[in-house]
Amino acid sequence: MRKRLHELSRITKDEKMMDEGRRISSVRELDVYKLAFDTAMEIYNISKSFPKEEKYALIDQIRRSSRSICANIAEAWRKRKYIAMFINKLSDAGQEAAETQTWLEFALKCNYIDKKIFDKLDEQYEHIFAMLITMERKANTFCK
């Protein structure tokens, strides 16, 4: 909990760049997007080893929700002309991250992943949450 609060209060590199007047020209430059994308790719690779009977249940769901985080961040970035829409899409990204964490917990309980992998991915999503919440709280910085 203490680590999570620290993450929420610190200024992100993306926010610092915006404050200094440097332009971020693409959503792909945002650290939160990069982390979400890389984590989704990790999940894709890990889920290749899940049992075939999970194809339409766990595999499709976890891949969809993890990818949706990136898609929502990209939509937020394009909608930053309107602060409320920007915040809404960031909120949607956070909801998809929470869903992905739930699917990861199912994968752990079904013994498709081990505790070490679960802990690593879960921590990455907690970091994504913190970055999204910081962006929401400081939307004016990104929506100038």
Please give the model's pTM, rounded to 2 decimal places: 0.84
pLDDT band at 62 (very low <50, low <70, confident <90, very high): very high
Judging by beta carbons within 10 Å of its beta carbon (0-12, 13-18, 19+), is residue 82 exposed, middle or buried?
A: exposed
In a domain, 45, yes or no: yes
pLDDT tens column, 27-45: 999 999 999 999 999 999 9
In a domain, 100, yes or no: yes
Distance in angstroms (rounded) separating the CA atoms of residues 26 and 126: 24
Return the percentage of the chain with pLDDT > 90, whole number.
Answer: 81
In a domain, 91, yes or no: yes
In a domain, 7, yes or no: no
Give me the CATH number covering residue 84: 1.20.1440.60
Q: 120 lies in which domain range?
A: 28-142
pLDDT band at 18 (very low <50, low <70, confident <90, very high): low
In a domain, 126, yes or no: yes
CB 6 within 8 A of CB 130: no
Distance in angstroms (rounded) separating the CA atoms of residues 110 and 54: 11
In a domain, 68, yes or no: yes
pLDDT, position 13: 59
In a domain, 15, yes or no: no
Distance in angstroms (rounded) separating the CA atoms of residues 33 and 99: 17
If one counts the domains in the chain, the total is 1
In a domain, 94, yes or no: yes
